[in-house]
Chains A and B, each alone.
Chain A
């Protein structure tokens, strides 16, 4: 009896460890049924052709984030359904303990050499990929949301500062409007995950958009310090409500859900990020869905589809970074659900601003610019 129990417990432990390793997407490797009839193969660029490309998707976290990794996975799925690629996803887990696995998996896949392309993402992977790409110069890589300067890597970044500008414009106009849930004070909030360049890039656009819409609007910025402490996300949002915020943008991954909870309890507006959070909440948390006015999207999947198109037609530039903005569908706002509740003047303002940001008529600063003083900007607009 005791023996069986210990075997059972040991098995449970092994299962858990395996859960983190992923590989649960066995179905993804199946070859697509429809025969690919890709046009124009100019034969010049290395991994292109009429055969579907074999792609490895390295996820340094877990699928199911309803955001970044899921979006990327969906993009790859679409490409596979269209017969452009076949792919396999490797989920490696997000914690510090999983990090050695990120290095070893990337190395093994590269050494294996059977994949035409390896896709990975996030700024946590850039140093790892940089070493790996140098070690395997014949392997091609995509990295999204980070930059790696190696001749065999194509980097995809998103103009989250442009996205921030749109969200800031809308939020500032909301807090000065006569919408429901809006108080007289012109204060809006930004709950960030970590005080780092990607999050601050969102913030830069957010502040500049808000200030351009109404210079009197104050922006309360606070960081959770990670992307998973929902409790802290909620506490921070509560503090913001005490500071008279009535619109809060949560850019903090899972911790942003905490901010949404606070918004629902205090009956103020919440703005989601990366995926349509209103749709996600609407499954079982109607109060949270009800206060989510719209979400700012970073369409990772569309970005990968865009780049894959360039790879197929041979126009891709290895060793370069492609920045995807509003025009390329890389970033944008959700337009369904509660978005309809926005007054017409705000919708119109967004329609006016978007092309100007795209054309460069409105220049949005970026936190990736080393000389840009994000601290100064942040402190100058505090309530």
Chain B
């Protein structure tokens, strides 16, 4: 069985599937990174993804353009994230509660809106929605093994990994990033030097909503070709774990997201080898617990060193 498993892990389709599975998690995890660095915990990622997944399907069907669908999905993601900001920053509700409210909105509200728009309730059977194209990368696709692994993904999969770079540049190479980090680390200090703390937090939440929105759009317009109720199925929460394990660093978060993608892909294959489903379903969560334990141990060590 171990030999079989190793054979599967080193197969091209397996590695290819890791990138596909990782994509929605990575988008949402990057969304969590930006929000977290600005000191606003965006727990509503799951809800934003659901709302954007539906928005993308509706607008791509009505406007007959996948790109316009994506644009509106991002827009709604931003608006929903800003709504969390409005509740938390302006009306001073607990941001966790605001996030939970958005998650509930994403759950029940999407069914409600889908029914209003198309008469569907379970899945968007009546909406002729579009999907984002898959891309074959010229030269690369002809390289034997690499081509099959790296070429032919959905355009949003490539963009998710490009976003890792973009978020890194934003956080570490731009004045805005400096302000975001300053606000996140010490809002009072940032305020004292004239940074508008709430403005930065709104911007961070907006960016976070845009990224989660793309993750949602990928679910219904790339991964699948339709919207299904509850289709994000907890990926927004897995993303929060990936962000925590990745210490809110873009690159670290990418690696932990890939780890989740790997664990998920592995779980899918382990079942067909006859391992019990309950055991296999635990795999991604075992990775989380182990990862968090390693993280906790390393911070503890670091802190101890600091004290010495």
- From A253, which residue of chain B is reached at the shortest CB distance? B122
Find B233's partner among A12, A64, A231, A375 (CB 8 Å cutoff): A231
Find A62's partner among B24, B111, B235 (CB 8 Å cutoff): B111
- From A284, which residue of chain B is reached at the shortest CB distance? B128
Answer whether A63 and B228 are a contact pair too, CB < 8 Å, given A93-B108, A222-B272. Answer: no
Per-residue CB contact flags for chain B residues 76-88 toward chain A (1 = under 8 Å, else 0) read 0000000100110
Hey, which chain B residues are within 8 Å of A240, CB to CB?
Answer: 272
Answer whether A231 and B224 are a contact pair too, CB < 8 Å, given A13-B105, A64-B122, A382-B272. Answer: yes
Q: How far apart are the CA atoms of A254 and B120 in the complex, in Å? A: 13
Q: How far apart are the CA atoms of A320 and B271 in the complex, in Å? A: 38
Q: Is the CB of A261 within 8 A of B225?
A: yes
Judge whether A47 is part of the interface by a CB distance below 8 angstroms.
no
Judge whether A124 is part of the interface by a CB distance below 8 angstroms.
no
Answer whether A62 and B269 are a contact pair too, CB < 8 Å, given A229-B231, A284-B128. Answer: no
Hey, which chain A residues are within 8 Å of B273, CB to CB?
Answer: 382
Answer whether A66 and B219 are a contact pair too, CB < 8 Å, given A195-B278, A228-B229. Answer: no
Judge whether B296 is part of the interface by a CB distance below 8 angstroms.
no
Hey, which chain B residues are within 8 Å of A220, CB to CB?
Answer: 272
Q: Is the CB of A236 within 8 A of B268?
A: yes
Q: Is the CB of A223 within 8 A of B277?
A: yes
Q: How far apart are the CA atoms of A12 and B277 in the complex, in Å? A: 40
Q: Is the CB of A235 within 8 A of B107?
A: no
Hey, which chain A residues are within 8 Å of B20, CB to CB?
Answer: 235
Query: From residue B252, how far is it (CB to closest CB) to chain A in Å?
Result: 24
Q: How far apart are the CA atoms of A93 and B90 in the complex, in Å? A: 32
| Candidate in A19, A62, A97, A225 with the most chain B CB atoms within 10 angstroms | A19
Per-residue CB contact flags for chain B residues 210-239 toward chain A (1 = under 8 Å, else 0) read 000000000100011110111101010000
Q: How far apart are the CA atoms of A254 and B91 in the complex, in Å? A: 38
Query: From residue B18, how far is it (CB to closest CB) to chain A in Å?
Result: 10
Q: Is the CB of B112 within 8 A of A15?
A: yes
Judge whether B123 is part of the interface by a CB distance below 8 angstroms.
yes
Find B122's partner among A2, A16, A65, A234 (CB 8 Å cutoff): A65
Find B269's partner among A20, A97, A225, A239 (CB 8 Å cutoff): A239
Q: Is the CB of A236 within 8 A of B271?
A: yes
Judge whether B265 is part of the interface by a CB distance below 8 angstroms.
yes
A206-241 with Cβ < 8 A to chain B: 220, 222-223, 225-226, 228-232, 234-236, 238-240
Hey, which chain A residues are within 8 Å of B128, CB to CB?
Answer: 284
Q: How far apart are the CA atoms of A236 and B264 in the complex, in Å? A: 10
Per-residue CB contact flags for chain B residues 94-132 toward chain A (1 = under 8 Å, else 0) read 000000010011011101100100001111111111000
Q: How far apart are the CA atoms of A238 and B269 in the complex, in Å? A: 10
Hey, which chain A residues are within 8 Å of B104, CB to CB?
Answer: 16-17, 97
Answer whether A230 and B224 are a contact pair too, CB < 8 Å, given A9-B83, A16-B108, A195-B277. Answer: yes
Find A6's partner among B91, B225, B228, B269 (CB 8 Å cutoff): B91
Q: Is the CB of B224 within 8 A of A257?
A: yes
Q: Is the CB of A225 within 8 A of B277?
A: yes
Q: Is the CB of B224 within 8 A of A242?
A: no
Query: From residue B29, how far is it (CB to closest CB) to chain A in Å?
Result: 16
Hey, which chain A residues are within 8 Å of B235, CB to CB?
Answer: 231
Judge whether B21 is part of the interface by a CB distance below 8 angstroms.
yes
Q: Is the CB of A223 within 8 A of B122?
A: no
Hey, which chain B residues are within 8 Å of A285, CB to CB?
Answer: 125, 225-226
Q: Is the CB of B274 within 8 A of A235?
A: no
Find A283's partner among B101, B126, B223, B230 (CB 8 Å cutoff): B126
Judge whether B281 is part of the interface by a CB distance below 8 angstroms.
yes
Q: Is the CB of B226 within 8 A of A257?
A: yes
B contacts with A: majority SS:
helix
Query: From residue B125, how far is it (CB to closest CB) to chain A in Å?
Result: 5
Judge whether A318 is part of the interface by a CB distance below 8 angstroms.
no
Query: From residue A265, how far is it (CB to closest CB) to chain B in Å?
Result: 10
Judge whether B17 is part of the interface by a CB distance below 8 angstroms.
yes
Q: Is the CB of A63 within 8 A of B121?
A: yes
Hey, which chain B residues are within 8 Å of A66, CB to CB?
Answer: 122-123, 125
Q: How far apart are the CA atoms of A238 and B268 in the complex, in Å? A: 9
Hey, which chain B residues are within 8 Å of A64, CB to CB?
Answer: 111, 115, 120-122
Answer whether A229 and B83 are a contact pair too, CB < 8 Å, given A97-B104, A254-B123. Answer: no
Judge whether A243 is part of the interface by a CB distance below 8 angstroms.
yes
Q: How far apart are the CA atoms of A232 and B20 in the complex, in Å? A: 11
Per-residue CB contact flags for chain B residues 155-199 toward chain A (1 = under 8 Å, else 0) read 000000000000000000000000000000000000000000000
Per-residue CB contact flags for chain A residues 54-96 toward chain B (1 = under 8 Å, else 0) read 0000000011111100000000000000000000000001110
Judge whether B299 is part of the interface by a CB distance below 8 angstroms.
no
Judge whether A325 is part of the interface by a CB distance below 8 angstroms.
no
Q: Is the CB of B271 within 8 A of A229?
A: no
Judge whether A339 is part of the interface by a CB distance below 8 angstroms.
no
Q: How far apart are the CA atoms of A121 and B233 in the complex, in Å? A: 24
Q: How far apart are the CA atoms of A75 and B193 in the complex, in Å? A: 69
- From A6, which residue of chain B is reached at the shortest CB distance? B91
Q: How far apart are the CA atoms of A63 and B127 in the complex, in Å? A: 17
Q: How far apart are the CA atoms of A260 and B58 in the complex, in Å? A: 21
- From A282, which residue of chain B is reached at the shortest CB distance? B125
Q: How far apart are the CA atoms of A19 and B105 in the complex, in Å? A: 10
Query: From residue B99, how far is it (CB to closest CB) to chain A in Å?
Result: 13
Q: Is the CB of A284 within 8 A of B129?
A: yes
Q: How far apart are the CA atoms of A254 and B229 in the complex, in Å? A: 8
Find A284's partner among B91, B115, B126 (CB 8 Å cutoff): B126
Q: Is the CB of A382 within 8 A of B274?
A: yes
Hey, which chain B residues are within 8 Å of A138, CB to CB?
Answer: none
Please list 15 pairs of residues, one from A and one from B, whose beta carbons are closer than 8 Å in the complex, sorted by A's number.
A19-B112, A20-B108, A95-B230, A228-B228, A230-B223, A234-B223, A235-B21, A235-B264, A238-B268, A254-B123, A257-B123, A283-B125, A284-B126, A284-B226, A382-B273
Can you name 12 extra interface pairs (CB under 8 A) apart from A222-B277, A225-B277, A235-B264?
A9-B83, A15-B109, A20-B107, A65-B122, A66-B122, A228-B230, A235-B268, A242-B13, A254-B229, A257-B228, A284-B124, A284-B127
